[in-house]
Amino acid sequence: MTAPDGRRRLSPGNGNKRAAGLTSCTVCGTRRALEFSELPYFSALLIAIALLLLWAMARKRGRGGTATVTFDVTLPADTPPADAIYVAGDFQGWDPRATPLVRISATHARGTVTLRVGSAIEFKFTRGDWARSEMSADCSPMPNRTVVLPRSATVNVTVGKWADLCIAVYDQRARKVQIESRALGVKKEFYVYVPPGYAEAPQRRYPALYLFRGHESEWINKHQDPSRAGRNVIDFYEELLAAGEVGPMLLVFPGMTSADETIPGMATNFRSPELTTAQGIGTGRFEDYLLELIAYVDANYRTVATKAGRGVDGFSLGGFMSVKIAAQHPELFTTVGAFDGTHFYAAADGAQVDLGRDAVTFMDPMFDAAFGSPRDAHFGALNNGPNLIRNADASTMQSLHWFVQYGAEASEPSDSNFYRGEHLIDELKRKGITNQLPSVLNGRHNWATADEHMRVAFPLHWQALNAAAAGDVNNAGAKHTSANALG
C-alpha cells in the first residue's frame, strides 16, 4: 500500500506476507529470524511506535494540547486599591477589560488562563482600559510582553508604572512648568531648557527659541518614536554648543493640544470650541494662550524679551503653527523654521483655504473645533501660513529669517508634505524671500529627520538671533516687550 508521500505502509491485508508476518512478530513475539531485507519495515514500525509514545506523553503533560499560564504580577505601590487588574493580549483580542486577575493585595495580583501548548503570546496589563495600561518604570512606552508556552508555567512580572499615574521625566535638563491660563481657562504645561551657565550669569539675557509639535513632551521624549534611538533635540543642541556652532539659548516647548492629543491647538483661537469636550482645550483660544505663554517666559526667565530675541520652529502640525504664528505676529519674532509642516493650500485670491486642493486634510474632523463645521474656509485663511504670507506686506515678511524644509516628493503622500512645503516656498518667493536652507531634507516624516532639521537649523537661528539682539544679549536692562500687550 502506498501512502500519499510515496512511502509503503505496513498492511497485513495487502498481500504482503512479509509485512504481515512482521506485525505478528511484534504482537506475539519473534516467530522466526528477521531477514536482512526486512530491516526497513522494522525501522518504520519503531519510528511509528516512538511517535505514538511521544504524542501520548505530550497529551498527558499538556492536558489534551492545552497549557495553563499563571500571571503573578507585582504592582506599583501607587496602584489604587479599589481598581481591578486585567491582562490583555493577542490571545483574547487585546480587550483591556475581558480577562481579570485576582487582586491579592495592594501590590499583588494573580490569575490563570488556558492556552494551547506551544503558543507564543503577546500581552500587557491594564486597570480596565488603555488609558490606564502599564508603562515602563521611567514612564516610557511599555513594549508588548511575550512568552512561549511549551507547557504550563507561571510568569512572574513587575509593572513599572501606570499610564494615568505617570509623572514622566523625559529629560532632566528640561524643567516642566504648569501655568493657569487665563486665555484657555485651564491649566497648561510646557517645558523649558536653560543653557549651561545660566545660573552663574545672573546679568546675562538669552534668546529664546520656541519649538512646536503637539504635546509639550514630544521634542524632548527620546522614545517619541523608535527612529530617535535614545536621542532628542537637546542632545543635538548641546553637541552644537560644545562645538561652538551655536551660543546659549533658552528652548521652550509649549503644549499645544488637548490632554489626549486628539485635538491640535493650531496656535489658533478656535472658530467653534463648543464642538469638542476634550480636556485641555478650555475656551480654545490657543493663539492668545501662546502670547500669554511668551509673556510668562519673558517675565520668569532672563530672555531677550523683544522681537530680536525670539524664534520659532516646528515639525508637522508644529511646522504649521510656527509659520502661522510668525506670519501673524512678525512683530514678535526674528526667525521661523519648519520641517514637513502641514500647511493648508491658499486659494488663488488668498481670501480662503483652497477647498479643492485641501478636500481631505483641511476637512479632517480633528480640525472641526478649530475651523468650524461645516468648514469655514475664510476663517481658515486668517489662520494659515500661506494665506497670511500672501496677504501680508512684503517688507514685514522680509523682516523674518526663514528656515523651511520638507520631505522628498517620492515620499508623498504618506511620508512627506513635499507639495505643501513647495506651496509655502512659492508664497515666500512672491514676497521676494529666499529660504535659507535647502528645502528638501531626505528622510522620513519622523523624529529622527525632525531632529536632523534642527541640527542644521539651530546654527542659523542662533546667528540671526545673536546678530539681531547684539545690543541686548548681555544687557541686564534689556527692554521688555509684552506679548500680551501686543496680542
Choices 1.20.1250.20, 3.10.450.50, 2.60.40.10, 2.60.120.260: CATH for 66-165: 2.60.40.10
Which percentage of the chain shows pLDDT scores above 90? Answer: 75
Instruction: Flag whether pLDDT at 3 surpasses 60.
Output: no
Give the mean model confidence (pLDDT) for residues 217-243.
Answer: 96
Give the mean model confidence (pLDDT) for residues 218-235.
Answer: 95
329-364 b/e with 16+ CB inside 10 Å = b?
Answer: bbebbbbbbbbbbbbbbbbeebebbbeebbeebbee
Report the distance separating Cα 305 and Cα 389, nearest Å. 24
* Confidence bin at 249 (pLDDT 50/70/90): very high
Report the distance separating Cα 313 and Cα 336, nearest Å. 6
Domain ranges (residues) in the chain: 12-55, 66-165, 174-486
| SS3 of residue 440 by DSSP | strand
Which percentage of the chain shows pLDDT scores above 70? Answer: 85
Confirm if 286 and 256 have CB atoms less than 8 A apart: yes
* Confidence bin at 1 (pLDDT 50/70/90): very low
Give the mean model confidence (pLDDT) for residues 324-345.
Answer: 98
Report the distance separating Cα 313 and Cα 298, nearest Å. 18
Instruction: Flag whether pLDDT at 334 surpasses 50.
Output: yes
Confirm if 378 and 271 have CB atoms less than 8 A apart: no
C-alpha cell at 149: 508556552
Question: Cα 121–124–125 angle (5° rounding)?
Answer: 135
Residue type, 6: G
Residue type, 177: V
C-alpha cell at 431: 514676497
Instruction: Flag whether pLDDT at 141 surpasses 60.
Output: yes
C-alpha cell at 100: 481579570
| Long-range contacts formed by 222-228: CB under 8 A, 24+ apart | 222/170, 222/171, 223/140, 223/141, 224/447, 225/446, 225/447, 225/448, 227/444, 227/446, 227/447, 227/448, 227/449, 228/447, 228/448, 228/451
C-alpha cell at 62: 499538556
Instruction: Flag whether pLDDT at 119 surpasses 90.
Output: no
Give the mean model confidence (pLDDT) for residues 203-225.
Answer: 96
Cα 322 to its chain centre, rounded Å, is 20
Of residues 96, 124, 128, 99, the one with CA closest to residue 114: 99
Determine which helix (DSSP H) or strand (DSSP E) holds 242, and give its type and residue range. helix 233-242
Instruction: Flag whether pLDDT at 60 surpasses 80.
Output: no
Confirm if 410 and 376 have CB atoms less than 8 A apart: no
Instruction: Say if residue 37 is exposed, middle or buried (CB neighbours under 10 Å; 0-12, 13-18, 19+).
Output: exposed
Residues pairing with 88 in the sheet = 124
Q: What is the pLDDT of residues 66-87, one digit of tens each?
A: 888 999 999 999 999 999 999 9
* Confidence bin at 26 (pLDDT 50/70/90): very low
Q: Is the torsion defined by CA of 407, 412, 417, 420 positive or negative?
A: positive
* Confidence bin at 420 (pLDDT 50/70/90): very high
Distance from first CA to last CA of the chain, Å, rounded? 93
Give the mean model confidence (pLDDT) for residues 359-375.
Answer: 98
Half-sphere exposure (Cβ direction) of 356: Cα atoms closer than 13 Å: 3
15-34 b/e with 16+ CB inside 10 Å = b?
Answer: ebeebebbeebeeeeeeeee
Residue of 28 and 142 predicted with greater confidence: 142
Would you list the DSSP string of 384-406? Answer: -HHHHHHTS-HHHHHTSEEEEEB
pLDDT of residue 16: 38
| SS3 of residue 158 by DSSP | strand
Of residues 212, 192, 432, the one with CA closest to residue 338: 212
Q: What is the pLDDT of residues 142-179, one digit of tens each?
A: 899 998 877 888 999 999 999 888 866 789 999 999 99
pLDDT of residue 290: 98
Assigned CATH topology for domain 174-486: Rossmann fold (3.40.50)
Instruction: Flag whether pLDDT at 11 surpasses 80.
Output: no
pTM of structure? 0.70
Q: Is the torsion defined by CA of 370, 372, 376, 378 positive or negative?
A: negative
pLDDT of residue 8: 35
